[in-house]
Amino acid sequence: MKCAFALALAIVLPVISARETRAQDAAPPPESVLGLDHLRADWTAAYEAGDADAMVDLYVEDAVRMPYDAPAVEGREAIVAAYRASFAGRRLFPDIDLVALDVEVLGDTAIERGRYHEVLTSWDGSTRIVEDGKYVSVVRRGADGRWRYAISIFNRDAPPR
């Protein structure tokens, strides 16, 4: 048994080391991808804080948001109004992680596919709901160089637990 384990380590460790070396030698991500990381972080912070005013600068004027279990919302003003109404009725407080799985940058347009993990907790901690899902976003870079959501669609993998 010990010999089999030692043999497995002798085979696996060089492969792991080679992967780590390649990852360290990889070029840093392009500025366009870093901008998308900032957009994702800004959205997460505004969403978790319930700050609809911060959402204004995260969407283009003619943005479309397609949430699950609801009709599409068209236009930045309507999207921000929907967030404002949602945040005003908030009884559960979110902690959400967005993870980009694929990003395709085509000039000033980017398409991002990812997954999310959200935990909603009541103020007193007595209620906790966990939701996992996926999203696709089309993002546009403005004349100021900032990325903003043009289209976003997301849905759950299964009912919340």
Q: Is residue 125 part of a domain?
A: yes
pLDDT, tens digit, for every residue of 80-102? 999 999 999 999 999 999 999 99
Domain span at 105: 27-156
Q: What are phi and psi of 72, to 5 degrees?
A: -65, 150
Listed in sequence order, the residues at least 6 apart from 100 whose beta carbon sits closer than 8 Å to its beta carbon are 36, 37, 40, 112, 113, 114
Say if CB 125 and CB 142 are below 8 A apart: no
User: pLDDT, tens digit, for every residue of 44-62?
Assistant: 999 999 999 999 999 999 9
Q: Is residue 132 part of a domain?
A: yes
* Residue 80 lies inside a defined structural domain of this protein: yes
Its pTM surpasses 0.85: no
CB neighbour class for 98 (10 Å; exposed up to 12, middle 13-18, buried from 19): buried
Residue 129: inside a domain: yes
Asked, for residue 1, whether it belongs to a domain, the answer is no
- The reply to whether 10 falls in a domain is no
Q: How far apart are CA 36 and CA 10, in angstroms?
A: 40
Query: Residue 38's domain is classified under what CATH number?
Result: 3.10.450.50
User: In total, how many domains does the chain have?
Assistant: 1
| Ramachandran category for residue 144: left, alpha or beta (phi over 0 → left; psi -120 to 50 → alpha) | alpha
